[in-house]
Structure 1
Amino acid sequence: MPKTFCVVGHDARQQAAARVLRRAGYGVTAADNAAAADYILLPMSQGRVSDEVARALQGAGQGTLILAGRPGMPVRMAAREAGLPLIDYFLRPELECLNAVPTAEGCLELLLRLRERTIWESGFLVLGYGRVGRAVARRLVLLGGRVTVAARSPEQRANARCAGCRAAPLTALPTLLPSFDAVINTIPAPVLPRALLQQLPGGALIIDLASLPGGTDFAAAEELGLHAEHALALPGRCAPQTAGALIAQTVLAILEERDPDERSTAP
């Protein structure tokens, strides 16, 4: 008998995940029918216990496995109180890697929409060269942008140079920033405080892709007349079909590792 997922949430990303799970041979039900589910799939970045999440947890049978992406402490506590095991699917390296693609494409969309110039022959400063920084820098280079990467690690700077970017240490930001009117931050640390933001030209655009609280002093940026966007959850906003499919594929891989007999029937 096929096992069943209770898919919580009705946004496009969760709907896309549900379609992939159905194609893989699983039943899919809603939060009100969690008692019939073997697994509960929660949306990404659930910081609070919504009414729908609460119904699913309260209705679930003992041992029902919860699969969540970056769940907040309230969700973790609620699962613990309900005696339900929880796995954070976003900790999987393959999902972090693949999720960088829609994040980078969403960043390009913001650059094209919020600026009045082409990416081609424009200068960009990318802070950090992890998965997201690499994905962003690579696409900017392919579109003809002139990309400089600022990173702490010598290895990351070397990789950036090998990929056709200029590279500099983060300590060089005071001298780099005056030359750029477009900065993309991927570092989840306070790398753009007021003192450094003051070095940017007036009206410069900052797109901060780092997780909360980001790496930019947003209040200072506003006071200085800079346009700073904290662009969170871009995969779900810009490419929900792809983002949902990636989540479902990752969840299926997790289940197969837990039980090799539980193999997807999806093509």
Structure 2
Amino acid sequence: MKQTKRFAVVGSDARQAAAGRALARVGYTVGGVQQLPQADYILLPLPLEQSGLPLAQLLGAAKPGALALGGKVTDGAMTIARAAGVELVDYFARPELTVYNAIPTAEGCIGILLERRSRTLWGAAVLVLGFGPVGRALAVRLAALGARVTVAARRPVQRAMAEELGLQAVPLTELAAAAAAFDTVVNTIPAPVLTAAVLAALPKGCLIVDLASKPGGTDFAAARRLGHTALHALSLPTVWAPETAGEALARTVQTILQEREGRV
């Protein structure tokens, strides 16, 4: 009789809990941190370094040869894992998880816009900075709601892809010149793109939602001085759709394990 592999799910947020339930549904034995000494696999949080977990202590309790999977794994975390005799894999580096996470991120951002705006998104001129997975998922959903979406992107191929979808597109280098036409801006670029000069070109009272990882792409102090509302909206999959985010994480982890076993 084949022995069921055992997962220890570490972390208490709603996404981790949902991932544990999803792994249990496909046949793994799933427990919490108390299962570490017996676990074949350890599911660690995202982002790993900001979770506040005593990583050395946790991995030190794992059985030798266990496989740990965490999100946004740093070199320091890798060193701790090697010292504990545990292999550590970064599931956040998987492109499919980025795509899965873009969906609840886009929906969460739309929820914020609907909550904060006093007018419909239908007919609104919205500027989206960046056209990676999150920018693309957001832009097409905004357009489906009737917004007039313009994408600002650095690479010509990204602008071409936006135009292929019926969106407007401008180069990032022309951001300051284009800014005056928009009272709603969403940034997905983890670099300083909404500088003081660009913010000064926006209409006063502009709503800015920055989805980029810390420190974001917005000069938040300048935005406040200029009378804009600038929000740094992080971890939207966990905040807005933890069940979906957890299931996407579990699916990605399953694929990693199947690849390691030569089953895909």
Give TM-score, length-normalised by structure 1.
Answer: 0.93
Distance 2:159 2:53 in 1: 46
Please show how residues 70-219 of structure 1 align to structure 2 within 5 Å: 70-219=72-221
Partner in structure 2 of residue 36 of structure 1: 38
Distance 1:147 1:51 in 2: 41
Deviation at 1:5, TM superposition (A): 0.5
Partner in structure 1 of residue 250 of structure 2: 248
Of residues 208-217 and 139-148 in structure 1, the stretch that sits farther from structure 2 once superposed is 208-217
Deviation at 1:50, TM superposition (A): 3.1
Partner in structure 1 of residue 66 of structure 2: 64
Deviation at 1:80, TM superposition (A): 3.0
Give TM-score, length-normalised by structure 2.
Answer: 0.94
Q: Which of 9, 12, 15 matches 1:13?
A: 15
**Sequence identity, in percent?**
53
Deviation at 1:130, TM superposition (A): 1.0
Q: Structure 2: any 5+ residue segments left out of the alignment?
A: none
Distance 1:215 1:8 in 2: 31
Are residues 1:228 and 2:241 paired? no
Distance 1:40 1:258 in 2: 15
Deviation at 1:93, TM superposition (A): 1.2
Partner in structure 2 of residue 259 of structure 1: 261
Distance 1:27 1:50 in 2: 26
Q: Is the CA contact 1:33–1:59 (under 8 Å) kept in the aligned structure 2?
A: no
Question: Residues 77 and 224 (structure 1 numbering): CA distance in 2 closer, same or farther, change over 3 Å?
Answer: farther
Are residues 1:23 and 2:25 paired? yes
Secondary structure at 1:44 match in 2: coil
Question: Residues 202 and 73 (structure 1 numbering): CA distance in 2 closer, same or farther, change over 3 Å?
Answer: farther
RMSD across aligned positions (CA): 1.6
Q: One-letter code of the match for 2:244? A: T
Report the count of equivalent residues.
262
Q: One-letter code of the match for 2:118? A: E
